[in-house]
């Protein structure tokens, strides 16, 4: 009986602590939550969940944080290898120097500024042109790439090489998406799941991509997993035409 009473009292105390934390959390959220119509406003073509200004703030902070933390982590590893004696003698002082460093802050400003400029240009061009296109991505990427001037000359080549490799990766993936086989029946998906290290997520993503790219098929109401109907479209009285001609 004593053990049951002690367990009940512990459960009550834990519930009280949890309730107090919930009350404090709700109070903090209500106090620091900024509600303004401009923060929730976005264009119909924008795919981000929150408003344009709020999204700009979020990605800028995340970019600065990622750049700062990556630079700080690399600097910490280098100091652990080279200056192990100094870290043992005065660990707090050395860690303070590593954490609060102008070079790390400047390095973190580069991805933050790049993300800010790219997203700002994309949203602004959507409002100005009222349409989505490759030109929007080109202009936003070109202007955001100018933030490389914020880096020192010693690190510009490394960062430029990183951006060049990322551009090659994106172009290669876009090339694969353009020439990906669009008529995938269920038997092929089963074969891919067993022998090609793919799972149901890959097939579902492929099906969603097919629905998005082939608007003619989607408007005609053809099922996404109907391979024979998905491969061909009856275009009026003319012979059946392959889907890739509509890309």
Flag whether pLDDT at 51 surpasses 60: yes
Q: What does the pLDDT read at residue 245?
A: 38
Domain span at residue 201 reads 186-246
Q: Rounded to 5 degrees, what angle do the CA atoms 139, 141, 144 make?
A: 105
pLDDT band at 63 (very low <50, low <70, confident <90, very high): confident
- Residues 41 and 145 placed together within one structural domain of the fold: yes
Question: Do the Cβ atoms of 243 and 220 come closer than 8 Å?
Answer: no
> 67 and 126 share a domain?
yes
Give pLDDT tens digits for 127-176: 888 887 778 888 888 888 777 777 777 777 767 777 777 778 777 766 66
Measure the CA–CA gap between 190 and 120, rounded to whole angstroms. 43
**Whether residue 210 is found in the same domain as residue 135:** no
Average model confidence (pLDDT) across the chain: 69
* Total number of domains constituting the chain: 2
Does this model's pTM top 0.85? Answer: no
């Amino acid at each position: 009986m004593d053990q049951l009473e002690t367990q009940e009292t512990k459960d009550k105390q834990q519930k009280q602590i949890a309730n107090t934390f919930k009350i404090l959390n709700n109070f903090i959220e209500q106090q620091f939550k900024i509600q303004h119509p401009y923060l929730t406003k976005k264009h119909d073509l924008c795919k981000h969940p929150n408003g344009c200004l709020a999204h700009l703030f979020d990605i800028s902070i995340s970019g600065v944080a990622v750049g700062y933390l990556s630079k700080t982590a690399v600097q910490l590893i280098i100091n652990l290898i080279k200056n192990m004696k100094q870290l043992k003698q005065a660990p707090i002082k050395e860690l303070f120097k590593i954490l609060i460093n102008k070079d790390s802050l400047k390095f973190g400003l580069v991805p933050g500024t790049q993300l800010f400029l790219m997203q700002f240009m994309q949203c602004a061009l959507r409002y100005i042109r009222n349409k989505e296109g490759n030109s929007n991505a080109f202009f936003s990427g070109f202007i955001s790439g100018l933030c490389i001037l914020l880096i020192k000359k010693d690190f510009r080549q490394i960062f430029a090489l990183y951006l060049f490799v990322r551009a090659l990766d994106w172009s290669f993936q876009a090339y694969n998406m353009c020439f990906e086989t669009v008529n995938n029946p269920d038997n092929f998906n089963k074969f891919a799941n067993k022998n090609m290290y793919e799972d149901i997520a890959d097939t579902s993503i492929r099906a969603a991509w097919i629905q998005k790219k082939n608007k003619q098929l989607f408007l005609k109401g053809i099922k996404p997993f109907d391979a024979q109907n998905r491969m061909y479209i009856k275009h009026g009285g003319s012979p059946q035409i392959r889907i890739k001609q509509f890309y």
